[in-house]
Amino acid sequence: MTDESLDNPVALVCESCGMPLNKNISSALDNRYCIHCQNQQTGELKNFEQVRASSIQATITLLGKTPQEAEMMADQMMPTLPRWQNKTRNI
Ligand SMILES: [Zn+2]
């Protein structure tokens, strides 16, 4: 394991949901993703709608935003993440 890289001050974010990664939530199977996006047993990744829904929920809960604000933030943020950039290019 490369614990040093996870302690690096450069802000890493999950390439799927944009959540800041630290060694507590970084996926053990793929360090581009967090444990919320990747199932730690199967390695399965949540799909776009699932990630979007949990991102909206987290924004409401953690940042106290309204559902409308949270949806807008998710729709602005998610297309900037590497995982979904590739996806939209390939469609
Ligand atoms: Zn994630």
pLDDT in tens, 10-67: 578 999 999 999 999 999 999 999 999 999 999 999 999 999 999 999 999 999 999 9
Mean pLDDT on 56-81: 96
- pLDDT at 6 exceeding the cut of 90: no
Residue ranges covered by each domain of the chain: 48-81
CA atoms within 13 A on the CB side of 39: 8
User: Ligand 1 centroid vs 46 CA: distance in angstroms?
Assistant: 9
User: Ligand 1 centroid vs 16 CA: distance in angstroms?
Assistant: 5
pLDDT-derived band at 85 (thresholds 50, 70, 90) equals confident
- pTM, to two decimals: 0.78
User: Ligand 1 centroid vs 77 CA: distance in angstroms?
Assistant: 12
Q: What is the pLDDT of residue 90?
A: 47
| CA end-to-end span of the chain | 35
The C-alpha atoms of residue 40 and residue 27 are separated, in whole angstroms, by 7
Q: Which residues pair with 20 in a beta bridge?
A: 13
User: Ligand 1 centroid vs 88 CA: distance in angstroms?
Assistant: 18
User: Ligand 1 centroid vs 90 CA: distance in angstroms?
Assistant: 21
* Helix (H) or strand (E) run with residue 71 in it: helix 67-77
Burial class (CB in 10 A: 0-12, 13-18, 19+), 69: middle
User: Ligand 1 centroid vs 13 CA: distance in angstroms?
Assistant: 8
